[in-house]
Each structure stands twice: as C-alpha cells, then as structure tokens.
Structure 1
Amino acid sequence: MNPLYGQPGPRSTQDPDRERDGDTPGARRRGWSLVRPAVTAERSAVWTMLAWSLLEAVPVVLSGQLMASALDHGFLIGDSGTGLTYLSAYGAALVFGAFGTRQVMTPLASVVESVRDRLVRLVVSAELRRAVLSDAEADTGAVARTTRQTESVRQMTAGLLMTARTVVFSVAAVVIGLLTLVPQVALVTVVALALSGVLLVQLSRRLRRRYAASLAAEEHLSKEAGEVLRGLRDVYACGAAATADRQVGQAIDTQAAASMAVARLAAGRLGVIVVGARLPLVATLLMAPWLVRSGAATPGEILGAATYLITGLEPALRSVVQTVANVGLQLGVLLLRLADRVTVRSGPKGGSARAAGTHLELEEVTFGYGTHSEPVIEKLSLRIEEGEHLAVMGPSGAGKSTLAGLLAGLDRPDAGEVRIGDRSVEELDRAWLRRTVTLVPQESYVFTGTVRENLAYLHSGPGPEDGELASAITLFGLDELVARCGGTDAVIERPDALSQGERQLLVLARVYLSTAPVVILDEATCHLDPVAEARAEQAFIARPGTLVVIAHRISSVLRAPRVLVVESGTVADGNHQTLREWSPLYADLIGHGS
C-alpha cells in the first residue's frame, strides 16, 4: 500500500464518547491490538519468561510448609537444629527465586522493546501521513506528545509484565500451599479473593473513565499552551495577555481537577487489600483455637498459613492495586489514545475503479495552499493525450510542481476535476493509480539494498530480465557506478555516499524500467550535467507512454513538441512557433525576445 494514503478506521456502533474513553470492550480491544502482534512475534521470549517465573515462585510455595515444619518438628519440641535447618532451606529457596527473577529480565526486555519499536513505527508513520493529508494547521506538539506517550507505554508494559506474572504465580502458589496445609483457610481465602476481585473490577471501571478524562485534559492543556506560545507576539501586540492567561489557566485547573479525581478514587482501592488479604488473616486467627483443638491443624500449620497470607498473598494484592490495576488501566487508555492517533481518516481515499485509457485531463481546476491563500492554479483546463510529450516551464513558484502533483493525483483540487482516461482521479483505485502514473521529484530516494533491488523496485511482476536491466544501466550511463558498487547484485550499504546526480540516475533508470505508462519528471534531472540530462530524457522520449517534463533547463523545453508556459497565474499552451509569437517569457528564454 502506498504510505501516503491511510485507511479509515473501523466504525463503532457504541457511543463515541465512551468509545474514545476506552469504556467499551471494542475500544479496549482496539487499543490492545496495537501491541498484540509484537507480543505474538516474541512468543518464545514469553514462554522463557514464564518458565523462569515458575522458579521465582518456589519460595512462595515452600514458605508456609517450611515455617510449619520448623515450628512443629523443631522449635516446639526443643530441637532448634532441625528448626534452623528448615529455615535455612527457606533461605536457599529465596536464593533460587532471586535467580529466577534475574533470568526473567532478558526475555522481558525482548518483549518490551518489540512493543516499543512497533508503536514508534505506527505513531511516526501516522503523524507523517496526517501531516501530508490534513488540510488543518499542523499540530506541532503532536509528535512530542505521542512520543512521550509511547515511551510511557514501554515503561508501563515492562512494569505490568514484571508484576503481573509475579502476582499470578504468587496467588496460585498461596492457594496451593494453603490447600495442602490448612484447607479450611484456603476456602476462606478463595472466597475473599473472589469478593476483592469484584470490588476491583467495579472500582477500575470508574477509574478508567476518570483517567481517560485526565489524559484528555492533559492533551487539551498541551494544545492550548502550544497555541498561545506560537502566537505570543500577536497576543501582546493585541493586548490579549489577560485572555490568553485565562484560557491557559482554565485548562490547567481542568487538568488538576481531573488528576485529583483520579487520585481520590485510586485511594479507595485499598479496600481490595483489606478484603482479599486481611480478612483471611483475621479469619485464620479467629479459627486457630478451634482448628488446633479439633486436630484439623497444628500450631505450626497455623503459623504456616499466616506466613502464606502475610508474605505471599498480601504483597501480591498490593501489587495488583498499586501496579497491575493502575498501570494496566493507564496502559489501556494510553493505547486507545495511540490507536486514535494511528488511525488516519483524512485525505484522498480513492475508489476501486480503473480507467479506460491513460490520457490526462484537467477541467476548470483551481488549487491553492490554504483556505485564505491566493490560488496557485485557477480555472485551468488541459488535456494531455496518451503517448504525448509535454514540457512545462516557468519561473520558480509559478505552480509547475503543483500541476505535477495534480496530474499525478497526489493533490486534490479546490474546484474542478482531474481525470485519467474516462475516470475522475477520486474514483480510481489508489494502487492502480500509483502503477499507472509515476511522479519523479527532485529529491531521489535510493535505499539500502542491491543495485538490482533499487532498479527493479517499481517493476511489476518478478522483475526485469538481466538483459533489460543491463540495457537500462547502459542507457542511463550507470555502467561505471554499477561496476564501482560491485555489480548489480552488490549491496549499496550507504546510499548517502552516492552523489546527488548518481542517485538521480538510479531513480530515473528505476522509473524507466517500471511499467507505468505515464511518467512525470518534476525537475528530476536538476543534478545532472546537460549531456546526462539529454541522454536520460531521450531514453524516456523513446520509451512508450506519456511523458511530462517539468523543465529545469531550456534544452528540455526544446526537445518537447508541446510546451506549457506557466507564469503569474496565466498559462500559455502551444508549440515552439506559436509560443515565440504569443508568450514574451518563452521568447525571452529561448533568445528570441525583442
């Protein structure tokens, strides 16, 4: 897909405000879908991380059992040596757990960096597409804001994965340990965990909305402050400092109030710890006399159960409240925000049609850069037949490159219509359009890859044959450059080491080898000497298809049977004879002025 054109995002049947705030399952899935491919691609690292997490959970599993044995089989019967041996075993288990934690870091880093790299690519690509396609004034803070949010996602993902796996394995280890030690306490603990889970979900739903509102307020503050700073000179010149101060101040107050609302509700989630961990501990202490008298548990087992609850369950629930819930919530909202930025809905989307024929036509076309700017092109009608060779000339800023962009379907006219063949450009399939019309700008892009890959980049199918490739290399005078690189299958490691002229020749040969029937050269030979320029243009003249040359030199104009002269909003169209008579600029440039 051509990177200049974004695809519209999926439509939601939910309320748009709730969708934007991340308060619907569809919205949350849309946000998390940004990172899912990166995590899936690192599945081996995920499995490695889980394997080391099992070793990390060993101290939790053994803690209660070892404490119970140390008391029942050691200290309570006066055998301090045995008791200390069990405690030493617990210490050894902690060492094994620490080793597991250390080993987790490498696979965790692989997952997190993969997520970060994917998000950066998506966000930067989206901002570039938005800058190209949007008619609105550029948001200068967008890249900085989204980059900051992307880095926050990276840090939150690392913290979430690190803590979430610890919580899952710790809670499982506590429940298993209690079942083997004191099943009655295990039952009470499971019920308490279920109640704390319900409470956590309800609080998180409300907190998600408040956090989304806080993030929106932060973005609004950034936008308001940016607008005031950009127009600071005008603010003071108009005596509007008080108004600007009030405008930014209101945004600051709104953002502060939203942050306080998040903090107040977050504090209420301490109840999750009380319900999930403290209630089972209180219940254990209340049941202890009955459990010991009935023989259901020994004093050591009661201590072991308390150890599971204090050293295993409570820290896990604190992590849930302080890290997993908070970070997971913020991460979900941030991902949804980034998903909104990644989805570019503006710009020409194109249709699905293909044109019959490839003649180019402009009908009463007007185009200007900005709503209030003077039109660069106004009510221009022009037809270029299939296979025709047209040169366009005029002073800098006259609208030559604008005309090239309109003919190629890259720019949308403010009025009038651009057609290729029997179809409006708006109706055409964008992929078909890009294969049919190739615009070559002044700047030449050569990528790191083999010479063959660079030259065959625009060729449809498996690529040009060796003979065709060799012919194009000779035709454009690239034999010496290709030999210096090491042949057609040698890699161009540093494209920037090539001269601008060499890069232009490579790109021109690439377009020559393409199957595009319409080629537009927008001063694409400006870095070539006159001999190389003439050789390149003669190659395209002999090539089947339509050729439009935005002329850099008068020699390019003289090679074309038809010339378009653009100057100060006027357009003169004709051959050399008629233009010498009717266009003073043309006559002056070719040396026939009076």
Structure 2
Amino acid sequence: MSASRPATTTAPARPAGPGGPGGRPGGGPPGMAAMAGPPQKALNFGPSAKRLLAQLRPERAAVALVFVLAVVSVGLNVVGPRLLGHGTDLIFQGVIGRQLPADVTKDQAVENLRADGQDTFADLVAGMNVVPGQGIDFGALQTVLLGVLALYVGASLFMWVQAYLLNTVVQRTVFRLRSDVEDKIHRLPLKYFDANARGDVLSRVTNDIDNVSQSLQQTMSQLLNSLLTVIGVLAMMVWISPLLALIALVTIPLSMLVTAVIAKRSQKQFVAQWAHTGALNGQIEEAYTGHALVKVFGRQREVEQSFGAKNDELYQASFGAQFVSGLIMPAMFFLGNLNYVAIAVVGGLRVASGSMSLGEVQAFVQYTRQFTQPLTQLASMANLLQSGVASAERVFELLDEPEQVPDAATPQTLDDQPRGRVEFEHVSFSYDPEQPLIEDLSLVAEPGRTVAIVGPTGAGKTTLVNLIMRFYELRGGRITIDGRDIAELSRDELRSSIGMVLQDTWLFGGTIRENLAYGDPTASEEQIRAAAEATYVDRFVHSLPDGYDTVIDEEGDNISAGEKQLLTIARAFLADPAILILDEATSSVDTRTEVLVQHAMAALRSDRTSFVIAHRLSTIRDADLILVMRDGAIVEQGTHTELLERRGAYFDLYNSQFAAPDVEEE
C-alpha cells in the first residue's frame, strides 16, 4: 500500500451505520431494527389467487388427469340417487300392485277407483308403472342395487386415485414455491434483511408456505368435486322436474350473496392474522436470541408484556377471522333446510297428483342434499381459501422484492493466484440517498500489506469492508481487486477470494471439525489440524471430551465466547483467501490468547492483503498502514509511529485508551 497517496472524502451528513454482517446494535442502515406491522389494506384476493393457481402450470398434464378422474367420480356419484329412486319405485309399485285385484288391467283398476270416489289414489296409480295383483319384483330390485353398489365402488376408486394425484401435484407445487423462495433469499440484497424483522421473514418462509400447502391440499379437491357435483346434480334435477329445480335454484343467489358479504368482512382479518403471526415470531425470536441479555438487565416483565400485547393482537385478528368466516356454514345450513322443506312439500303434492313417482321425489330430495352440500362446502372453504391466499400474497411480496444487482453477463475472473491489490477510486456510498455517507474516497491497499481501520463507533469502518465484499452497491466510483472492477466480477468469484472474521461469531450445529471445514470443504485432516494449531484452537480442543468430534449447537453454548472466536478465525485461515478482513476478530479472547493470535495472524497475513477493524489500538501497532475514519471520511493515514508524531486524531484516540484520566479532587 502506498502511504503517500491521500484519501479524499467529504464529511457526510450523518455517521455511518455498521450494517451488514459486521453490524452492531444501534447502527446500520435506516429501518434496520424496525418490525414490520400488519398491512392495513384489504387483501387483493383476485390477482393473488390467479397467481397462486398459475403455480400449477408445470403440472398441467396431472391436473388435467385429476379433472378427468373428478368428472368420472362425480358422474358415478350423481347417477347413484337416480338408480336408487328406480329401486324405490319398484318397491312402491309392488306394494301398490298387491293392493289391486289381479284380474283387471291398470286402466280398469284406475276407473274402478274413480268410481269408488278414490280420485287421489286413482291419480297415484295412473302415474305409476304398476301391474295389478303383482308384488315386488326382487330380481329387478337386486339388479338395481348391485348396479348402485358398482357405481359407488367405482366412484370411490376414481376419487382415491384423484386424491393421490392431487396430493402429488400440490406437494410438487409447494416444493417449487419453497425452492423459489430459498433462491430468492440468496438474491435479495443485504439491505432487505437489515430493514425487515428476521422473525417475519422466517414466518413467510415457513408458516405462510405451510399454510399455502394446507389450503391448496384441502380446498382444491373439494372445490373441484363440489363444482362438478353442483353441475351434475343440477342437470339431473332439471331432467327429473324443472319446477322443483327452479325452487332449488332460488338458494344459489342467496347463498352467493351471504358468502360474499361475510367473506368481504373476513378478508382484512385473515391478512392481519398472518401479519401478526410474523410480528409475534419476530418478537419471540428476538427475545430467545437475547435471552441472557434480558435476564442481565431484568427485562423479563417488559418482554412478557410485549409478548402479551402482540399475542393479544394475534388473538383478536384470528378470532375475528375465524368467527366472521365461521358464520358462513350456519347460514348455508339454514338456507339448505328452507330449500329442503319447500321441495318436500311441492314434491309430495306432485306425487299425490301422479305427476311424479315416489322414487323421483326421493331421488330429487337426495339431489337437493347433494346440491346444497357442495354449496355449503364451498362456503366453508372460504375461510381456508382466504387464509391460504393471504399467506400466498405475503410469499409473493417476498418474491417480488427488488433483487441485488445481477452479476455481469460475462463476468471477469481473477487470476488463479490473486495478488490481493485493493483500490478505492473516488468511491461514494450512502444507505439513504438523502443522507450522504462516503464521498469521493480513494485509497490503495498493496498486496501482502495490513491495513488497520480505526475510528469512533459509527465512523464507517465496517461499511468500508462491506463495500469490498459487495454487500452493498456503490453510488459512485469503483473498487478494484488486482485492477478488476468488483462490479464486473461474479459475487462468488469475488467472495471466494476474501476471508472475513466478524466480531459477532457464528457457528453451525455440528462438530468442531465440520465447523472448521466450512472454510474449505475439500481440506484434508492435516490441513484442518494445521489451521487449528496456527490459531491455537488445537490447544483447547484437546481438553474437550470428544476432541474435534465435539458437537456444538448453533449458538455454541457449550464453548466459551473466546473459543468460538478462535474457531471462526481458524475457519477463515483454512479458506486461505487472498484478502483477509478481520472485524474486531479478537474482541472476545483474553489478553494472553490475543497475543498468541496476533502472532499467528502476523505469520498468516504475510502473503495476503489484510483489513483489520479494531477499537483496541494495541492490536494494530504493527499494521503497514492505519486509516483513521470519522463520519465516513479518512481523516488521517500512516503508520503507528507517524500518526503519533502528528498528534492528530489518532493521537487523541490512542491517548484516550492508554492515558489515565485526570480526576479533579475537591
């Protein structure tokens, strides 16, 4: 690095937020800690439902087969009551026929009944296919019953195959949706995660997708079967009696009106329900992650009150959604019972007049039940459908979020052995366009040199290294590595050449060996041990019962904070990057271990460019260049000795740490 090349900046309007992976509490871009509240606008049901159905396009062939199977299954079920009605006619005709003299014809029997003044009975006999003196034809009745049995068995078989295929379609669709969300998460810029509560994002990825899956699974089959049943039953009712069919149809507009009125009132409630679910998840995740901190500051009561308030909001929204949508079912049952009474009365009168047979009325009553049942099912599915579409809308909102700037179509590549020369050329950046942060910043980090970045909290130190990692896009200027603009490199290419150790350590659930190998999955056992020995990880691992096979949880609660930080340092060293970024990487280790790690890092930094962010200035005395930042600008740069001799900003920072404060005595 050339120490003689000055860095030019313009002081920003506000201090830099740390933001990004190295962010600390209280910093970062605007809105980082904001918790997304529930949307106030009503659910845009139509477009969201169409978009959800569009997810089924890759399964068009299977969906078509499901439709065919549903048509066959519903058709067989619809024909069943008509055949049962014919069986009822056979029984009724046999009963009436036994009551008539056997030595007369049907017409003569009718005339005799009229002559006896039994006009109603005569009309009934005239409308029947009865043979006087003949009882029930059990042979014909057996044929009818076997036919009905075959119909219902066939309908059940087709329905089972349909349900199996539909389950396959839904699960494949949800699998693709979940994969799309996972891919989207990796394409979202870091500022999205800074501005949205982690619990709410997790709720969209897990709870909302699960709700979409359940809603599709429970509604698609019933919706298809119910619609086909309504069409088939309506056709049979019109065939049997247009008058009774007209009476039955009166309930349709009433049912639609009731459903529309109730559904409109419940839409907002379902949107709020899932939004409050995400907010509550965010609060719970935050409280449990910082559980120790809550205990330390005695804030259990405040956390419980906050949870109680959010839980009450969720309760109110869920209760309102379920209660309002639950009114649909009783209303539909009431309309269905009114329809049943009207058909029973009119049908009975028509049987008595000989206009219809008893079997036809019986079949029509069954069709009425079959007609109102799918309408009731459709109405009862309204709450499930609205809930599922509300969740789908939240998932689509995530999928529609602006993505990070895509990599170049033909990205440049670094050399097989990158030198690690980093140059900032008139770089400008801000989290908020209205509030400039870094303006016209230029500097050079030569290969193999160590650059220390110091300054007060919020000066922009972590922001600087986040720009090197391309976690954020520049507003102006460019950053190059070995002369290549990082904006023209693929992110994978760029980040594979950079190792980063954060102040906030993060370990994965697994063994110590697996956590170390995360830096280089192809590393051999000897390489893992060498990295562990160089960073003094090997020293404490041997004191653990299972050594390198010791399993640590995701939070690393079974090892100390210093040991966790040593593991993250070893992981970065194992990756052997050309550029190394250490963001307060030794803040959690004790003084003796820090000295050892400093020696290890000094040896390992010999062939790589290193950026070290430090608050403890004793750790960066041997840096080749020290940059002093304030308000997003480099106000001083030089070696430790040079900066102390200038007696400027670095001198003040150094003295504030090592000089004893003056104490006034009264």
Alignment TM class, shorter chain as reference: 0.5 to 0.7
- Kept in 1, the 8 Å contact 2:189–2:404? The answer is no
Offset at residue 320 of structure 1 (A): 1.6
Q: Which residue pairs with 2:55 in the alignment?
A: 38
- Kept in 2, the 8 Å contact 1:292–1:299? The answer is yes
The residue type paired with residue 75 of structure 2 is: V
Q: Which residue pairs with 1:105 in the alignment?
A: 163
What is the root-mean-square deviation in Å for CA atoms of aligned residues? 4.9
Which whole-Å deviations, capped at 9, do the CAs of 1:352-402 have from their partners, x for residues lacking one? xxxxxxx9643376899xxxxxxxx98884367xxxx95252179889997
Q: Which residue pairs with 1:439 in the alignment?
A: 494
Q: Distance in 2 between matches of 1:378 and 1:131?
A: 19
Offset at residue 136 of structure 1 (A): 4.1
Instruction: Report the 3-state secondary structure (helix = DSSP H, G, I; strand = E; otherwise coil) of the residue aligned with 1:45.
Output: helix
Distance 1:58-1:109 versus aligned 2 partners, 3 A rule? same
Q: Which residue pairs with 1:261 in the alignment?
A: 320
Taking structure 2 as the reference length, the TM-score comes to 0.56
Q: Which residue pairs with 1:251 in the alignment?
A: 310
Q: Distance in 2 between matches of 1:440 and 1:128?
A: 14
Offset at residue 165 of structure 1 (A): 1.3
Q: Which residue pairs with 1:315 in the alignment?
A: 373
Alignment of 1:328 with 2:391, yes or no, is no
Percent identical pairs in the alignment equals 17
Offset at residue 186 of structure 1 (A): 1.3
Q: Which residue pairs with 1:281 in the alignment?
A: 340
Distance 1:155-1:437 versus aligned 2 partners, 3 A rule? closer
- Kept in 1, the 8 Å contact 2:450–2:605? The answer is no
Q: Which residue pairs with 2:442 in the alignment?
A: 382
The residue type paired with residue 173 of structure 2 is: V
Q: Which residue pairs with 1:363 in the alignment?
A: 426
Q: Distance in 2 between matches of 1:95 and 1:221?
A: 48
Instruction: Report the 3-state secondary structure (helix = DSSP H, G, I; strand = E; otherwise coil) of the residue aligned with 2:250.
Output: helix
Q: Distance in 2 between matches of 1:383 and 1:273?
A: 74
Q: Distance in 2 between matches of 1:527 and 1:241?
A: 41
Distance 1:128-1:92 versus aligned 2 partners, 3 A rule? same
Alignment of 1:214 with 2:273, yes or no, is yes
Which whole-Å deviations, capped at 9, do the CAs of 1:554-591 have from their partners, x for residues lacking one? 4568xxxxxx95446489999xxx99x9899xxxxxxx
- Kept in 1, the 8 Å contact 2:81–2:367? The answer is yes
- Kept in 2, the 8 Å contact 1:65–1:181? The answer is no
Instruction: Report the 3-state secondary structure (helix = DSSP H, G, I; strand = E; otherwise coil) of the residue aligned with 1:105.
Output: helix
Offset at residue 124 of structure 1 (A): 2.3
- Kept in 2, the 8 Å contact 1:203–1:269? The answer is yes
- 1:23-102 matches, within 5 Å, as 23-24=43-44, 28-30=46-48, 32-33=50-51, 35-77=52-94, 78-81=135-138, 82-102=140-160
Match of 2:190 among 132, 140, 163: 132
Give the structure with higher Rg (CA): 2
Offset at residue 143 of structure 1 (A): 2.3
Offset at residue 157 of structure 1 (A): 0.8
The residue type paired with residue 230 of structure 2 is: V
Alignment of 1:162 with 2:221, yes or no, is yes
Structure 1 residues without counterparts, runs of 5 or longer: 5-15, 352-358, 369-376, 445-495, 502-524, 534-550, 558-563, 585-594
Q: Distance in 1 between matches of 2:73 and 2:491?
A: 60
The residue type paired with residue 406 of structure 1 is: L
- 1:361-440 matches, within 5 Å, as 361-363=424-426, 381-382=441-442, 390-391=446-447, 393-394=449-450, 406=467, 409-412=470-473, 417-419=476-478, 433-434=488-489, 439-440=494-495
- Kept in 1, the 8 Å contact 2:38–2:275? The answer is no
- 1:178-577 matches, within 5 Å, as 178-274=237-333, 277-310=336-369, 312-322=370-380, 324-345=381-402, 361-363=424-426, 381-382=441-442, 390-391=446-447, 393-394=449-450, 406=467, 409-412=470-473, 417-419=476-478, 433-434=488-489, 439-442=494-497, 498-499=522-523, 554=606, 565-567=624-626, 569=628
Q: Distance in 2 between matches of 1:88 and 1:113?
A: 38
Distance 1:214-1:287 versus aligned 2 partners, 3 A rule? same
Distance 1:97-1:227 versus aligned 2 partners, 3 A rule? same
Instruction: Report the 3-state secondary structure (helix = DSSP H, G, I; strand = E; otherwise coil) of the residue aligned with 1:439.
Output: helix
- Kept in 1, the 8 Å contact 2:326–2:383? The answer is no
- Kept in 1, the 8 Å contact 2:89–2:358? The answer is yes
More relative contact order, 1 or 2 (CA 8 Å, 6+ apart): 2
Q: Distance in 1 between matches of 2:635 and 2:289?
A: 41
Offset at residue 238 of structure 1 (A): 3.5
Offset at residue 284 of structure 1 (A): 1.1
Offset at residue 250 of structure 1 (A): 1.8
Offset at residue 408 of structure 1 (A): 7.0
Distance 1:217-1:573 versus aligned 2 partners, 3 A rule? closer
Distance 1:43-1:83 versus aligned 2 partners, 3 A rule? same
Distance 1:191-1:138 versus aligned 2 partners, 3 A rule? closer
Distance 1:273-1:60 versus aligned 2 partners, 3 A rule? farther
Offset at residue 99 of structure 1 (A): 0.7
Q: Distance in 2 between matches of 1:366 and 1:191?
A: 67
Taking structure 1 as the reference length, the TM-score comes to 0.62
Distance 1:90-1:161 versus aligned 2 partners, 3 A rule? same
- Kept in 2, the 8 Å contact 1:221–1:251? The answer is yes
Q: Distance in 2 between matches of 1:403 and 1:256?
A: 45
Which whole-Å deviations, capped at 9, do the CAs of 1:279-299 have from their partners, x for residues lacking one? 332111111243224443112
Match of 1:120 among 178, 182, 190: 178
Offset at residue 104 of structure 1 (A): 0.9
Q: Distance in 1 between matches of 2:296 and 2:605?
A: 46
Q: Which residue pairs with 1:455 in the alignment?
A: none
- Kept in 1, the 8 Å contact 2:407–2:490? The answer is no
Offset at residue 131 of structure 1 (A): 7.1
* Alignment: residue pair count: 441
Q: Which residue pairs with 2:549 in the alignment?
A: none
Distance 1:361-1:240 versus aligned 2 partners, 3 A rule? closer
Q: Distance in 1 between matches of 2:303 and 2:167?
A: 45
The residue type paired with residue 338 of structure 2 is: L
Distance 1:434-1:272 versus aligned 2 partners, 3 A rule? farther
The residue type paired with residue 383 of structure 2 is: N
- Kept in 1, the 8 Å contact 2:266–2:321? The answer is yes
Distance 1:64-1:436 versus aligned 2 partners, 3 A rule? closer
Offset at residue 61 of structure 1 (A): 1.8
Q: Distance in 2 between matches of 1:69 and 1:437?
A: 74
- Kept in 2, the 8 Å contact 1:392–1:566? The answer is no
- Kept in 2, the 8 Å contact 1:60–1:308? The answer is no
The residue type paired with residue 450 of structure 2 is: G
